[in-house]
Chain A
């Protein structure tokens, strides 16, 4: 029998995975740029955000953290966390309860910043990374045991592929990530469906890969 998941829950599980991975990758990149801004390359933050078509301005390394995490732009970590929290609440009945609790805590970590004068520093980033690792750990307990976990994993991998392509990471590993996405799409779809063709064979160049992946995901989740 089919695994039963509504399209809304499936979509929110998928976006929970994407937003968590997006936060993880962004925090990692912010952390690296912060280190460079201190005494190596003052424009490291500007360059990082150019990758996302965002013009970021800051006065020093500490201000960079503030602007990168809480600034008014689309890669604002608080907004990513708010979206992830919302997805988690909608599909809480389909995710591990510990992972859910850590997710709420992760959001609260950033939300508190809007209500207090706490200065953003490296400890906050470390704490956020730890919580994300804990969430992944909790989710891994049941990973691949039902469709709910596959939707989260699919979101995580799509985001990972997106980052790898944006930052020109090692192609072999990127293709391995995409192969895994293909495998999940196959599991979630009927096996004889056209959509389960290998993404790599469908795409002529790397820039088309994400479009190809997104098309498949739209075929998996039918609204």
Chain B
């Protein structure tokens, strides 16, 4: 179902219909020329490719976005408090809000970090929160919190520049919020938590799927882009190895590497993309890591269920943005509901990401459902079930005609002294009509997102 047309949409189409449609091809030319890529490995081969882009932006009114903004600030504030509490006093567990075993069984929970408090007590610095707009009640619903290494912000940033050049009419005639401040938001966060020294963006390297983004954000934020072996740890301090052999102290690292690979001395000894000794320096308080190690516990799909409770517990407020109705087979009552209604629910494996491990009950046979029940019964902590949300389609101009595709919205929330929500985001649309999976790794494309008013 398409989102209702507003005056803003009408204004957009009025301008769009006056534009030269042939110019749409210029977006692809731009992305090819500037290698705006999201790389993939397919059958063992490294493939450089751009993300599919659709010219029709998602439009959100400034008024509507104000509520999203407020709700996301509230959520990320609570999630930061949760992480800090969990790894220090764990009051939320002691008070019985979240079962202890539930936390400890989360794959992202790292007991080795209990008792450690990072710089400025901020743990979730750069966050990607996935939302959809429910067609049932026109409300935005949170689907997922990504508090580890969320990617994607560079794509709308890059395309917005091009959009302004190709179709300036929109920007001359509509009040579209500017978005260029995202790199400075990241810089502000890096500076805020820095322990003294330069800022770096740590990339696994040129063959990482998001290398373009690492490079882009380093350039725009003024941080140095480094590969793991270009950092050196001496006496629990991290240094940048300059071309002339000099060592320069590092105060803040925006790392684009998962926890388990970040330090072969502490985690996976076979990791070739880690910095030996980094964790020791981090635990000594000599360098800030963005995001903090151990955040995986908070974007565990099972812990997601408890976020509204966290908001009430830490902030004493009602959640401004709601979760999708979620059930945990871990709880007997929920499990019964799930088993009775599996054919209409969405079952998610908490350990998977990128659209993998998502099963739609309505697409499964009776036999498959019975098999799944057996698997869920054997390991209830591994799964969650959610009501299927009929989220809105967005109009897309694909193959020179308008088509409808389901689309979500990843908002970027950055924590420094204050928590700020970027006035844009990554709108991702599904590859095929009717498909609910919008992830880039599932072949989905992206749109620009315009927060605007008349």
Given A8-B227, A90-B206, A93-B218, CB of A2 within 8 Å of CB of B32: no
User: What distance in Å separates the Cβ of A33 from its nearest Cβ neighbour in chain B?
Assistant: 31
A188→B33 contact, CB < 8 A: no
* Bound complex: CA A108 to CA B32 (Å): 10
Stretch from B140-148, B244-252, B437-445 forming part of the interface with A: B244-252
A101 at the interface (CB under 8 A from B): yes
Given A8-B230, A100-B34, A104-B32, CB of A2 within 8 Å of CB of B215: no
B224 at the interface (CB under 8 A from A): yes
Which A residues lie within 8 Å of B32 (CB)? 104, 108
Stretch from B164-172, B235-243, B427-435 forming part of the interface with A: B235-243
Which A residues lie within 8 Å of B418 (CB)? none
A5→B243 contact, CB < 8 A: yes
B240→A2 contact, CB < 8 A: no
Q: Chain B interface secondary structure, helix, strand, loop or mixed? A: mixed
Which A residues lie within 8 Å of B33 (CB)? 101, 104-105
A222 at the interface (CB under 8 A from B): yes
B34→A101 contact, CB < 8 A: yes
Q: Which of under 10, 10 to 19, 20 to 34, or 35 or more describes the interface residues of B? A: 20 to 34
Interface centre among B206, B243, B244, B246 (most CB of A within 10 A): B243
User: What distance in Å separates the Cβ of A212 from its nearest Cβ neighbour in chain B?
Assistant: 19
Which B residues lie within 8 Å of A2 (CB)? 242, 244, 246, 248
A62 at the interface (CB under 8 A from B): no
Binding site for A on B (CB under 8 A): 32-35, 198, 206, 211, 215-216, 218-219, 224-227, 230, 240-246, 248
Which B residues lie within 8 Å of A147 (CB)? 243
A9→B243 contact, CB < 8 A: yes
Number of A-B contacts (CB under 8 A): 65
* Bound complex: CA A6 to CA B201 (Å): 12
Closest chain B residue to A93 by CB distance? B219
Interface residues of A in 1-30 (CB under 8 A from B): 2, 4-10
Given A6-B230, A92-B215, CB of A220 within 8 Å of CB of B242: no
A189 at the interface (CB under 8 A from B): yes
Given A4-B248, A6-B224, A6-B230, CB of A89 within 8 Å of CB of B35: yes
Which B residues lie within 8 Å of A10 (CB)? 243
* Bound complex: CA A205 to CA B211 (Å): 45
Which A residues lie within 8 Å of B240 (CB)? 4, 6
Closest chain A residue to B206 by CB distance? A90
